[in-house]
Amino acid sequence: MSEQHAAPLSAVIASELKLAPRQVEGALALFDEGNTLPFIARYRKEATGGLDEIQLRDVRDRAQYLRELAERRAAILKSIEEQGKLDPDLAARIDAATTKQALEDLYLPYKPKRRTRAMIARERGLEPLADLLWSGARTDADLAAEAATYVDTSKEVPDVEHALAGARDILAERIADDADVRGEVREITRAGGVMKARVTTAKKGESSKFEDYYDFSQPLRELPSHRVLAMRRGEDEGFLICSVDAPAEKIVARLDQRFVAGNRAPAQMGLVVRDAYKRLIALAVEVDLRLELKAKADEDAIAIFGRNLEQLLLAPPAGERVVIGLDPGFRTGVKVAVLSRTGAVVATDAWMLHQRDRFVASLLAAIAKWNPDLVSIGNGTASRETETLVRDTLAERQLSRPQVVVVNESGASVYSASDVAREELPELDVSLRGAVSIARRLQDPLAELVKIDPKSIGVGQYQHDVSQPRLKQRLDEVVESCVNRVGVEVNTASVPLLSYVAGIGPSLAQNIVRTRDAKGGFRSRAELNDVPRLGAKAFEQAAGFLRVRGADNPLDASAVHPERYALVERMAGDLGVPLGALVGNDGELKKVKVERYVGDDVGLPTLKDILSELKKPGRDPREAFEPPAFRADVTEPKHLVPGMELEGVVTNIVAFGAFVDVGVHQDGLVHVSQIADRYVSDPNAVLSVGQKVKARVLSVDLERNRIALSLKRDAGKPAEVRKPKSAPPPKVHKPGDIAPNGMRFR
Averaged confidence pLDDT in the chain: 90
> H or E stretch including 254?
helix 248-255
215 near 199, Cβ under 8 Å?
Answer: yes
The class (CATH top level) of 3-110 is mainly alpha
Domain formed by 117-304, architecture: Orthogonal Bundle (1.10)
Which CATH superfamily includes the segment(s) 637-722? Nucleic acid-binding proteins (2.40.50.140)
- The Cα–Cα gap between 304 and 294 comes to 15
Question: Comparing C-alpha atoms, which of 93, 121, 665, 156 is closest to residue 129?
Answer: 121
For residues 647 and 640, give the distance between their C-alpha atoms in angstroms, rounded to a whole number.
Answer: 13
pLDDT of residue 735: 39
State the Cα–Cα distance between residues 598 and 591, nearest whole angstrom: 16
* List of residues 6+ apart from 612 with CB closer than 8 A: none
What whole-number distance in Å separates Cα of residue 389 and Cα of residue 359?
A: 9
Q: Where in the chain is the domain with CATH 1.10.3500.10?
A: 117-304
Cα→Cα distances 291→5, 32, 241, 294, Å:
26, 31, 16, 5
Q: How far apart are CA 445 and CA 443, in angstroms?
A: 7
Dihedral sign for Cα 165, 169, 174, 177, please.
positive
Q: Are 322 and 370 in contact (CB under 8 A)?
A: yes
Beta bridge partners of 648: 693
Rounded-to-integer distance, Cα 272 and Cα 266, Å: 10
CB 334 within 8 A of CB 352: yes
> How far, in Å, CA of 26 to CA of 35, rounded?
12
For the entire predicted model, the pTM comes to 0.79
CA-to-CA distance for 37 and 30, rounded, in angstroms? Answer: 9
| pLDDT score of 714 | 56
Q: What is the layout of strands, in order, in the sheet containing 323-327?
A: 345-351, 334-339, 323-327, 374-378, 403-407
Spatial CB neighbours of 150, under 8 Å, sequence gap ≥ 6: 124, 125, 126, 129, 157, 163
Residue 696 burial (C-beta neighbours within 10 Å; 0-12, 13-18, 19+): buried
Q: Percent of the chain beyond pLDDT 70?
A: 94
Round to whole Å and give the CA distance between 423 and 510. 12
Using a 10 angstrom Cβ sphere, with 0-12 exposed, 13-18 middle and 19 or more buried, the burial of residue 431 is middle
Cα-based distances in Å from 3 to 8, 88, 92, 696, 728: 10, 16, 11, 57, 54
Contact 250, 188 (CB under 8 A): yes
Bridge-partner residues for 744, per DSSP? 738
**Cis omega (within 30 of 0) for bond into 402:** yes
Q: How many residues does the chain have?
A: 746
Pseudo-torsion of CA 295, 298, 304, 307, nearest 10°? -90
Q: Using CB atoms within 10 A of its CB, is residue 78 exposed (0-12), middle (13-18) or buried (19+)?
A: exposed
The residues of the chain scoring below 70 in pLDDT are 1-7, 460-461, 628, 714-746
pLDDT score recorded for residue 168: 98
Strand partners, 199: 240
Burial of 604: CB neighbours in 10 Å, binned 0-12, 13-18, 19+: middle
Give me the amino acid identity at 180.
D
Q: Which amino acid is at 598?
A: V
**Residues 64-106 pLDDT 10s:** 999 999 999 999 999 999 999 999 999 999 999 999 999 999 9
Give Cα 610 to chain centroid, integer Å: 31
DSSP bridge partners of 378: 407
**Numbered ranges of CATH 2.40.50.140 in the chain:** 637-722
Query: One-letter amino acid identity for 399?
Result: L
**3-state SS, one letter per residue, for 636-649:** CHHHCCCCCEEEEE
Burial state string for 251-273 with b = 16 or more CB within 10 A and e = fewer than 16: bbebbbeebbeebbbbebbbbbb
Q: Where does the chain hold its CATH 1.10.10.650 domain(s)?
A: 3-110
CB distance 438 to 376 below 8 Å: yes
Sign for the CA dihedral angle at 629, 633, 635, 641 comes to negative
pLDDT of residue 744: 36
pLDDT in tens, 377-423: 998 889 989 988 998 999 899 988 899 988 888 888 889 999 999 99
Reference 90, options 101, 79, 80; nearest CA is 80
